[in-house]
Amino acid sequence: MIDRFLTRMASARTFAGKLWDLTRPYWSAQEWQTFRLWGFAFSAKECWIARTLLAVIVAANVLAVYISKLINSWNARFFNALQDRNAEAFWSELYTWVLLVALLIVAVVYRVWMVQLLTIRWRRWLSRVYFHDWLADRTYYHMELARWGVGNPEQRIEQDIGAFTRQTLDITLGLLLQVMTLVTFAAVLWNLSSDFVLPVFGGLAIPGYMMWAAVLYALAGSWATYLIGRPLVGVNFALERYNADFRYRMVRIRENAESIALYSGEPVEERRLTNAFTRIYATWWSYMKHNKRLTWLTSFYGQAAAVFPFIVGAPQFFAGRIGLGTLTQTADAFGQVQGSLSWFVDSYTQLAAWQATVNRLTTFGEAMVKAKRAAEQAGFEVHTAPEPELSLAGVDVQLPDGTALLRGVDLSIREGQSVVLRGTSGSGKTTLFRVLAGLWPYGRGRIALPGDGRALFLSQSPYMPIGALKDALCYPEAHDAHSEGECAAALEACGLGYLVPRLGEAASWSFILSGGEKQRLAFARALLFRPNWLFLDEATAALDEAAERRMYELVRQRLPHAAVISIAHRPAVVAFHDRQLIVDAERRRVAWGHPLRV
């Protein structure tokens, strides 16, 4: 379902099409979910939970509009009682008002609560769709390789999805409420002003002329708002983009704090942050300019709307044709109709932000689809090897732009063998390494991957997830996949016994541990994971020769049946392998070197 969802979304071109493809799947979601309400638990398909919540919200809207109509009728009776100095009617109507307002508050409170519940459920479902597809088939990796031009995916998933679900429900349900209000109070206003006579041309009678006045007033305001506020759509889009870039640059500084400090790179980073914020500043000025123009209009429009119905209805009141209660009832009905028709004026800024959010989400979805298609069409014929081996046959390795890197690679590596990749810097060793690990999608030829073997990749800078030290040690398995004793033994074997008491401590271990400690932790991770295929990309570059020798000896002792494929430059590391692959950058070829040991 997720693939179909993103494919449809990527094919949409108009805003309405994008919005439909982004919205519709949730309301037909077939996943079974547990729904808890007031202590009761229900199991149902997500789409039916969503539809039920929406139906309750609509019912609350209907109730709120009906009570507002009753309050409008009460308005006439209450002010007529004041005008007639009828104390008994005054107090009776006041009691009625308390009952009506209490019912209205209940309807409004539970409407807001239901909307918030529906918003978070929709956000949860849509977030899962996005981050599942972003992680599936290594799409996140392929997007970075191909540089599809969509930055800050974390902002799209966390911020934009939250904004989209909230804005969509607010706008849609707000519009629905205003439509119901318009239909209800247009009839009220028509009936109240059906006998009004304009004091022109000897008394001109226009049926329901107060309603027509409200329509004309709202249409004029809406048209002016559209003309003045239209540029805000593009400005909002740019502002979110520049804010995300500024935030991402600060995250990068935090992630690389030690390297920046060692380089004394603070002035450079400060200049980059200043330049990034300069774009925000300039865009914000543009936002201020357009928003100021829109505020001039909306402020005047809102203030004039408060007195406009009294001005229009005053001739009837002063002529003695209507009482004070009818005038206030008419003004209230006019305000309801005018407010409903002015929904576009009041919501234009939100509509502009909503459109920008939809565009960012659909752009992100399109980029994921492009990355998936590019990876699928890259040209490799990948299949499962009948034997526990990894083989390449007639493989050409390319860069994402199609440039040839290696040609005609033929090789076979069996489980239990140890192979080291050698070659000059920039020759394509790391890219070939990624092909062997099944990561690189660009090229052509046949690749046979082992079917049931476990593979583990140890890089020069191992990934350390945020959390307890045991989480980092057991990664990519769950923290409970291994006992405390097994974890302690692995750390002891790799010379990290002093970290055993801190296994339950949660911290940012990528900052706490040194480069050498992280590499030894990665080897401890391999001892726990027990892979059949172990890929080492200069995984001991931060270790001294003694520690490096110890790590490779541990691998040989503890994982005797695993295939070990390494990239290394030190002769001491090369000696721990049976065979060597030489990558020739000039000829763009790969050939087996002399055997290293028997």
CA dist., res. 584 & res. 557, Å (int) = 32
**Tally of CA atoms within 13 A in the half-sphere of 554 that contains its CB:** 25
Whole-number Å distance between alpha carbons of 510 and 483: 23
Per-residue model confidence (pLDDT) at position 27: 87
Residue type, 235: V
Give the torsion through C-alpha atoms of 511, 512, 517, 520, to 10 deg.
Answer: -80
Q: How far apart are CA 398 and CA 146, in angstroms?
A: 12
- Phi, psi for 42 (deg, rounded to 5): -130, 145
Tokens 């099409």 sit at which residue? 17
Can you list the domains of the chain with their CATH numbers? 2-374 (1.20.1560.10), 380-592 (3.40.50.300)
176 pLDDT more than 50: yes
For residue 582, list its beta bridge partners: 422, 591
pLDDT band (50, 70, 90) for residue 201: very low
Instruction: Reply yes or no on whether the pLDDT at 450 is more than 60.
Output: yes
Q: Report the alpha-carbon angle 357-14-246, nearest 5.
A: 25
Mean pLDDT of 255-275: 78
Higher pLDDT, residue 5 or 348: 348
Rounded to the nearest 10°, the torsion over CA 166, 168, 172, 173 is -20
pLDDT at 402 over 60: yes
Q: How far apart are CA 220 and CA 218, in angstroms?
A: 5
For the cut 60, the answer to whether the pLDDT of residue 119 exceeds it is yes
What digits encode the pLDDT tens for the residues 298-345?
777 767 776 777 777 677 777 666 767 777 777 777 777 777 777 776
pLDDT over 80 at 246, yes or no: yes
- Picking from 301, 285, 286, 163, the residue whose alpha carbon sits closest to that of residue 231 is 286
Give me the helices (H) in 136-265, please.
139-146, 153-155, 161-192, 209-229, 232-255, 257-263
CA nearest neighbour of 200 among 188, 209, 190, 192: 209
Q: What is the mean pLDDT of residues 48-58?
A: 91
- The H or E element containing residue 566 is strand 563-567
Please give the pLDDT value at position 205: 61
pTM across the whole model: 0.70
Of the pLDDT bands very low, low, confident and very high (cuts 50, 70, 90), residue 151 is: low
pLDDT at 190: 77
Average per-residue pLDDT for the chain:
81
For the segment 152-168, the average pLDDT, to the nearest whole number, is: 84
Average pLDDT over residues 406-432: 85
pLDDT at 207 over 70: no
Alpha-helical segments (H) within 84-160: 87-135, 139-146, 153-155
Q: What tens digit of pLDDT does each residue of 273-286 get? A: 888 888 998 898 88
pLDDT of res. 57: 93
What tens digit of pLDDT does each residue of 560-582 get?
989 999 887 777 788 888 888 88
Q: How many Å is the Cα radius of gyration of the chain?
A: 34
pLDDT at 526: 94
Over range 230-253, report the average pLDDT.
81
Tokens found for residue 547 = 């520690």
- pLDDT band for position 489 (cuts 50, 70, 90): very high
What single-letter DSSP state applies at residue 160?
I
Work out the average pLDDT over 15-28: 84
Q: Which two tokens stand for residue 583?
A: 């990558």
Label residue 250 left, alpha or beta by phi (over 0 means left) and psi (-120 to 50 means alpha).
alpha
Residues 6+ apart with CB under 8 A from 573: 420, 540, 548, 552, 566
| Pair 474, 487: CB distance under 8 Å | yes
Q: Note whether 65 and 181 are within 8 A (CB).
A: yes
CA dist., res. 59 & res. 70, Å (int): 17
Angle made by CA atoms 443, 448, 453, in degrees to the nearest 5: 125
The confidence score (pLDDT) of residue 1 equals 46
**Averaged pLDDT, 132-161:** 76
pLDDT confidence bin for 199, thresholds 50/70/90: low
In angstroms, what CA-CA distances link 535 with 420, 523, 555, 568, 577? 10, 11, 12, 11, 13
The dihedral through the CA atoms of 180, 184, 190, 193 has a sign that is negative
Among positive and negative, which fits the CA dihedral 139, 140, 144, 147?
A: positive
Cα gap 419→411, rounded to integer Å: 11
Which residue would you say has higher pLDDT here, 38 or 455? Answer: 455
Query: Burial level of 367, CB count in 10 A (0-12/13-18/19+)?
Result: buried
The rounded percent of the chain whose pLDDT value lies above 90 is: 15
Asked if 210 and 315 touch (Cβ cutoff 8 Å), the reply is no
**Closest to 409 measured CA to CA, from 574, 587, 566:** 587
Write the single-letter amino acid at 14.
T
Band (pLDDT 50/70/90 cuts) for residue 596 is: low
Q: Of the given ranges (220-234, 396-410, 510-524), which has the lowest mean pLDDT?
A: 220-234
